[in-house]
């Protein structure tokens, strides 16, 4: 794949154009070299119409590229997305690999079936020494320290305190609460109150977990009020008024064994693909690990409507980054046309 030697970085999110960065690549010049396209789904490839999907599939074939989807969805949720797109007369190309749960699971397409890559799970276990039960125990202890526990006076401001306590007996009185959105043995999810020192909490956890040889990857998410209000009753109780931000949004902290970049690197090594022959695209905070992967020579398309944190990170490094003018699938195509020059 011949890679364009100029990277344009545009911060359309901030309505301003940043200067062009000239970067020297060592991209290979023949489509016979194996390559990888790695796409996020929600808000990105899943927005494509059939013409756009056909174009992307055509470019994958022309460049001898594996198609990989890197998503926060579970395998079941991925199939649901396929069905939803099919009902809209759109055929989502079958991936060669699916990186699911933000890197916690990896599936390979074998004879049309997505089968779990068990060696990947073994690698994560050996590499991170992740122990979900131990981590949950540590979070329970921390949640009941003075730093994170609410006073009786603060709890008394909740009209439905007894209901909250019945639903969440272990964390009801704390600024930290465990919840399950997409449960995984390699990931634990927590809501944090608006006044929690996030950096301090992560540092505290690292100090404790490192003594056990446990390596975790932190991922933050900020859920807007509409997202939170649409949750089930249990999560609504956990995201009560003491914990929510003034605008009704909610902060979540994920303690993970892996991220999307771990899945990409595993596939790359298994398939014998050079870092310089990888093009990725994403639009949200959970795609930051993919953007960071560009330090190895891979390319990343940051879509115009990406989260501010992702845009800020991409602008800060600029090298091997293309920030599109268009949103969604149009932005992906824009980036592919820019990077691929034969």
Taking CA atoms, 72 is separated from 110, 111, 127, 228, 235, in Å, by 22, 24, 21, 17, 19
Look at residue 43 and give its three-state secondary structure: coil
Whether 145 and 90 share a structural domain: no
309 phi and psi angles, rounded to 5 deg: -65, -40
Over the range 89-99, which residues count as b (16 or more CB within 10 Å of their CB) and which as e?
ebebbebbbbb
In a domain, 80, yes or no: yes
Query: Quick one: 264 and 239 in the same domain?
Result: no
Kindly report the number of other CB atoms within 10 A of residue 102's CB atom: 27
Instruction: Judge if 91 and 237 occupy the same domain.
Output: no
Confidence band (pLDDT; 50, 70, 90) for 313? very high
Q: Is 152 found in the same domain as 116?
A: no
Average pLDDT, the chain: 87
| 240, 256, 272 - which closes a domain | 256
Residues 232 and 182 in one domain: yes
pLDDT digits (tens, 9 = 90+) for 66-125: 999 999 999 999 999 999 999 999 999 889 999 999 999 999 999 999 999 999 999 998
Exposure class string for 27-38: b at 16+ Cβ within 10 A, else e: bbeebebbbbbb
Q: Is residue 266 located within the same domain as residue 246?
A: no
Distance CA 69, CA 260 (A): 10
Of the chain, the percentage scoring pLDDT greater than 70 comes to: 89
| Same domain as 326, residue 311 | yes
Instruction: Note the pLDDT tens digit of each residue in 178-192.
Output: 877 666 788 899 999
250: phi > 0 → left, psi -120 to 50 → alpha, else beta; which?
beta
What count of other Cβ atoms lies within 10 Å of the Cβ of residue 175?
22
Question: Does 1 reside within a domain?
Answer: no
- 14 is a domain residue: yes
The boundaries of the domain holding residue 169 are 131-256
* Contact (Cβ atoms closer than 8 angstroms) between residue 85 and residue 92: yes
Which of the pair, 233 or 325, is modelled with greater confidence? 325
The pLDDT value given to residue 16: 35
Question: CATH number of the domain that 23 lies in?
Answer: 3.40.50.1000
Closest CA to 299 of 18, 37, 11, 43: 37
Handedness of CA 321, 322, 327, 328 (dihedral sign): negative
Say whether both 246 and 162 belong to one domain: yes
Tell me, yes or no, whether 267 and 319 share the same domain: yes
Last residue of a domain, one of 231, 256, 281: 256
User: Length of the chain, please?
Assistant: 342
By C-alpha distance, which of 279, 275, 257, 256 is closest to 265?
275
Q: Does 264 lie in the same domain as 166?
A: no
The answer to whether residue 113 is domain-embedded is yes
Three-state DSSP class for residue 187: strand
Q: What is the mean pLDDT of residues 289-302?
A: 96
Q: Is residue 170 part of a domain?
A: yes
Position 183 scores a pLDDT of 65
Tell me, yes or no, whether 139 and 154 share the same domain: yes
Last residue of a domain, one of 202, 229, 256: 256
The predicted-structure confidence for 123-144, as pLDDT tens digits, reads as follows: 998 999 999 999 999 999 999 9
Convert 292-306 to b/e letters by CB count within 10 Å (16 or more is b): bbbeebbbbbbbbbb
- Give the count of beta carbons closer than 10 Å to the beta carbon of residue 185: 15
Domain check: are 135 and 231 in the same one? yes
The rounded distance, in Å, linking the Cα atoms of 47 and 215 is 35
Domain count, the chain: 2
């Amino acid at each position: 794949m011949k890679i364009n030697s100029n990277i344009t970085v545009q911060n359309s999110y901030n309505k301003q154009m940043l200067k062009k960065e000239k970067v020297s690549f060592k991209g290979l010049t023949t489509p016979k070299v194996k390559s990888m396209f790695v796409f996020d789904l929600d808000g990105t490839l899943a927005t494509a119409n059939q013409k756009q999907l056909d174009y992307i599939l055509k470019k994958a074939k022309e460049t001898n590229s594996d198609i990989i989807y890197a998503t926060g969805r579970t395998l079941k949720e991925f199939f649901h997305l396929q069905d939803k797109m099919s009902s809209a007369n759109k055929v989502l190309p079958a991936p060669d690999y699916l990186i699911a749960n933000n890197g916690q699971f990896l599936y390979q397409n074998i004879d049309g079936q997505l089968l779990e890559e068990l060696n990947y799970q073994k690698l994560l276990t050996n590499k991170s020494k992740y122990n979900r039960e131990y981590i949950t125990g540590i979070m329970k202890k921390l949640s009941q320290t003075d730093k994170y526990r609410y006073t009786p006076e603060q709890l008394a401001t909740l009209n439905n305190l007894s209901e909250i306590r019945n639903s969440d007996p272990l964390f009801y009185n704390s600024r930290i609460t465990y919840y399950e959105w997409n449960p995984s043995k390699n990931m634990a999810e927590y809501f944090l109150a608006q006044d929690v020192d996030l950096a301090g909490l992560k540092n505290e956890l690292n100090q404790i977990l490192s003594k056990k040889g446990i390596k975790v990857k932190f991922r933050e998410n900020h859920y807007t009020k509409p997202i939170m209000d649409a949750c089930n009753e249990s999560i609504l109780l956990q995201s009560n008024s003491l914990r929510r931000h003034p605008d009704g949004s909610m902060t979540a902290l994920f303690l993970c064994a892996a991220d999307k970049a771990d899945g990409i690197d595993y596939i790359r090594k298994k398939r014998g693909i050079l870092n310089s022959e990888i093009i990725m695209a994403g639009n949200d905070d959970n795609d930051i690990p993919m953007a960071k992967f560009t330090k190895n020579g891979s390319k990343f398309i940051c879509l115009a409507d990406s989260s501010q944190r992702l845009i800020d990170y991409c602008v800060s490094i600029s090298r091997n980054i293309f920030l599109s003018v268009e949103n969604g699938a149009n932005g992906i195509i824009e980036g592919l046309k820019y990077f691929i020059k034969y």
